[in-house]
Structure 1
């Protein structure tokens, strides 16, 4: 009989399956299996509407990274920089739950 922790690891392995949802990404110089998603149009609109600071000519991008905690050297905390696939972002929030890290990150984009 498998233990609860063993079953959780199997579930993470299914979610992080390269044939299904996940892709290989480089996170802070380390190659790992992760899911990188952008915000939907609705989420972008809500974020823009709730933003307290608005600068002409500067826009931002927000991405959410789902990765197994075991794949990272450490889970970055809010306000720290994170590099994903050669692009640098600032962590706006991070949470870990049942062996998975969910990291929301942003960067400014100047057209």
Structure 2
């Protein structure tokens, strides 16, 4: 088995809903992904007086998503719209940093 085959098999485990991933709605499409939230004890990070910053990093298969999101663009995750702050691709997986401000 080649290294690429081993990495692909690891992605199947990482994105398995019985292991790490959950199903979410991303831009209207049901997709398996892993969400890491950047919050303080489940509450948003303080951003400015009266405004809170929600930041999430999602890990999703490049193939499952089907396109590379544009930094500065918008993505809808589970009916919440976020700005795409950063997109990194490594071994068939996107790590996408999302932010949303709330009042």
Q: TM-score, normalised to structure 2's length?
A: 0.87
Q: CA RMSD in A?
A: 2.1
Q: Which residue of 1 aligns with 2:31?
A: 32
Consecutive unaligned residues of structure 2, counting only runs of 5 or more, are none
* Match of residue 60, structure 1, among 53, 76, 88: 53
Consecutive unaligned residues of structure 1, counting only runs of 5 or more, are none
Q: Which residue of 2 aligns with 1:9?
A: 8
Higher normalized helix content (fraction of residues): 1
Following TM superposition, the consecutive aligned residue runs of length 4 or more in structure 1 with deviations greater than 3 angstroms are none
Larger Cα-atom Rg: 1
Higher normalized strand content (fraction of residues): 2
Shift of 1:57: 1.0
